[in-house]
């Protein structure tokens, strides 16, 4: 266990940092005295968009084997989370801050500092100096006293222009011994794709019903940042429509399923230009990614991923689309659509939304900002207006006809 810091002494850790080299992954170790608290074997490659005089360019480079543990790394203590900071090259640094709830530990925040003055990495960069991007992440988590293992490549977007791809990762924080635990928490990308029949408990809606289910209940999905303030708000009813091979019918069917808010948990992350909302139900994982375009000052739903293994499915349905541009709305506003709307994610997967209002960026005071309504709502509002205008026009015509008629009859009487 990590020793507690005596409150008065402030920073009182004597850190002994080491670094050894494995075949291709680089190993980093953070120690407090003789006891190791973080150990990480990892490969990382970086992809960073930067500006030059004639447009933007992308710098791509890998974490060099000369990378070392920086001296702001720490095992943490009361109110200070453990942190691994890896320094490399000419002023670049990758930071991982860990957190734990006693059962699981996770990388809670990831940061990258890069030095645009490093002209060999960023040739002809129009700006110079250090840039830092960071984001709360949720992708990397493991059971306490186990090693997080992810041999597959996984990409973490820290901002719209900065991606980090990890591979061959073996990592543990809150360690008890000097070596990585034998027990491993394997990331989902490394899990074999099972084709065996699912062993989940049967659901009431076993076979796909030909009649569409009723409109789904509206869920209240809120993400809260470290401050305790809401950073992503979503109120919506969701109906998933998945085309898959039915086990009971032995043919391809479109199965429609309502997400039940009281069985769904929301998680995710809030960033300055990227936010994710992960909705987890017993047999369904659904991820929404929102992107803020700081040039156009608009945000939109940029990606949707689903992993579902419903009782009538022959295989797990794990699909997604990362190049969407749906639910577009001005930054600082919330997007609202009371009418039913269909989000076409893939030919085999769509989502029907009901009574939707959401805001993934610039949430203040735990409340939705002014809403921008979807076109359908605006048109629905237009219909009563059009009918009203038409009625008013009709009344006017009748009135004019009456007045003209009256004038004519007056004239008639006068001639007599």
Ligand X SMILES: *[C@@H]1O[C@H](CO)[C@@H](O)[C@H](O)[C@H]1NC(C)=O
Binding flag, residue 119, ligand X (CB under 6 A): no
Binding mask 261-300 for ligand X (x = CB under 6 A): -x---------x-------x--xxx-------x-xx----
Q: Between β-strands 83-88 and 68-69, what pairing exists: parallel, antiparallel or unpaired? A: antiparallel
Binding flag, residue 195, ligand X (CB under 6 A): no
Residue among 22 and 30 whose Cβ is closer to ligand X: 30
Binding flag, residue 163, ligand X (CB under 6 A): yes
Binding flag, residue 199, ligand X (CB under 6 A): no
Q: Any long-range contacts for 275-278 (C-beta under 8 Å, 24+ apart)?
A: 275/223, 275/231, 275/232, 275/360, 275/361, 276/138, 277/221, 277/223, 277/232, 277/234, 277/360, 278/138
**Number of residues counted as binding ligand X (CB under 6 A):** 50
Residue among 87 and 141 whose Cβ is closer to ligand X: 141
Considering only residues 299 to 318 of the shown chain, the ones binding ligand X according to CB under 6 A are 307-309
Neighbour tally for 346: CB within 10 Å = 14
Shortest Å, Cβ 330 to ligand X: 7
Please give the structure tokens belonging to residue 15: 């850190």
Binding flag, residue 89, ligand X (CB under 6 A): no
Scanning 21-29, 66-74, 225-233, 389-397 for contacts with ligand X by CB under 6 A, the matching segment is 225-233
DSSP string, 79-97: TB--EEEEEETTTEEEEEE
Residue among 103 and 410 whose Cβ is closer to ligand X: 103
Please give the structure tokens belonging to residue 170: 């073996």
Considering only residues 229 to 248 of the shown chain, the ones binding ligand X according to CB under 6 A are 229, 235, 241, 243
Shortest Å, Cβ 375 to ligand X: 19
Binding flag, residue 225, ligand X (CB under 6 A): yes
Considering only residues 133 to 152 of the shown chain, the ones binding ligand X according to CB under 6 A are 144-145
Considering only residues 356 to 415 of the shown chain, the ones binding ligand X according to CB under 6 A are 361-362
Q: What is the rounded CA–CA span in Å between residue 361 and residue 277? A: 12
- Give the H or E element holding residue 405: helix 375-415
Are 170 and 180 in contact by the 8 Å Cβ rule? The answer is yes
Q: What is the rounded CA–CA span in Å between residue 107 and residue 156? A: 12
Residue among 269 and 352 whose Cβ is closer to ligand X: 352
Shortest Å, Cβ 69 to ligand X: 18
Q: What is the rounded CA–CA span in Å between residue 111 and residue 85? A: 9
B/e letters for 395-409, b = 16+ CB within 10 Å, e = fewer, are eeeeeeeeeeeeeee
Among residues 97, 110, 112, which one has the least CA distance to residue 61?
112
Binding flag, residue 332, ligand X (CB under 6 A): yes
Residue among 199 and 227 whose Cβ is closer to ligand X: 227
Among residues 214, 146, 168, which one has the least CA distance to residue 63?
168
Q: What is the rounded CA–CA span in Å between residue 137 and residue 413? A: 88
Considering only residues 43 to 62 of the shown chain, the ones binding ligand X according to CB under 6 A are 47, 49, 53-54, 58
What is the contact surface with ligand X in residues (CB under 6 A)?
Answer: 33-34, 47, 49, 53-54, 58, 103, 144-145, 155, 157, 160-161, 163, 176, 188, 212, 220, 222, 225-227, 229, 235, 241, 243, 250, 254, 256, 260, 262, 272, 280, 283-285, 293, 295-296, 307-309, 322, 331-332, 350, 352, 361-362
């Amino acid at each position: 266990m990590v020793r507690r810091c005596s409150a008065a002494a402030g920073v009182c850790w004597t850190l002994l940092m080491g670094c050894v080299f494995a075949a291709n992954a680089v190993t980093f170790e953070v120690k407090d005295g003789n006891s190791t608290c973080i150990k990480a074997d990892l490969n990382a490659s970086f992809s960073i968009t930067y500006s030059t005089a004639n447009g933007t360019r992308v710098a791509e480079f890998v974490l060099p084997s000369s990378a070392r543990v920086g001296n702001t790394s720490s095992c943490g203590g009361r109110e200070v989370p453990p942190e691994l900071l890896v320094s490399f090259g000419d002023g670049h640094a990758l930071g991982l801050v860990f957190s734990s709830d006693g059962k699981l530990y996770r990388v809670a925040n990831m940061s990258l500092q890069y030095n645009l003055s490093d002209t060999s990495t960023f040739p002809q960069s129009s700006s110079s100096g250090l840039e830092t991007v960071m984001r709360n992440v949720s992708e990397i988590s493991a059971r306490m006293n186990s090693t997080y293992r992810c041999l597959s490549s996984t990409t973490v977007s820290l901002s719209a222009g900065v991606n980090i791809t990890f591979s061959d990762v073996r990592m543990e924080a809150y360690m008890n011994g000097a070596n990585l635990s034998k027990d491993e928490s394997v990331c989902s990308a490394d899990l074999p794709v099972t084709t065996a029949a699912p062993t989940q408990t049967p659901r009431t809606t076993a076979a796909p019903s030909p009649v569409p289910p009723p409109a789904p209940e509206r869920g209240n999905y809120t993400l809260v940042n470290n401050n305790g303030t809401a950073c992503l708000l979503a109120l919506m009813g969701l109906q998933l429509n998945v085309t898959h091979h039915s086990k009971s019918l032995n043919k391809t069917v479109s199965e429609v399923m309502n997400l039940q808010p009281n069985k769904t948990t929301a998680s995710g992350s809030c960033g300055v230009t990227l936010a994710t909302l992960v909705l987890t139900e017993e047999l369904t994982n659904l991820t929404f990614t929102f992107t803020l375009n700081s040039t156009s000052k608009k945000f939109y739903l940029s990606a949707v991923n689903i992993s579902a293994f419903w009782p009538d499915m022959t295989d797990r349905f794990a699909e997604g689309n990362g190049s969407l541009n749906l639910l577009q709305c001005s930054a600082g506003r919330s997007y609202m659509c009371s009418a039913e709307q269909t989000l076409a994610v893939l030919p085999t997967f769509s989502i029907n939304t009901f009574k939707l209002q959401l805001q993934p960026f610039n949430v203040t005071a735990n409340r939705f900002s002014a809403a921008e309504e979807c076109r359908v709502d605006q048109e629905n509002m237009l219909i009563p207006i059009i009918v009203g205008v038409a009625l008013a026009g009709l009344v006017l015509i009748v009135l004019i006809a009456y007045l003209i008629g009256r004038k004519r009859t007056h004239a008639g009487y006068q001639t007599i």
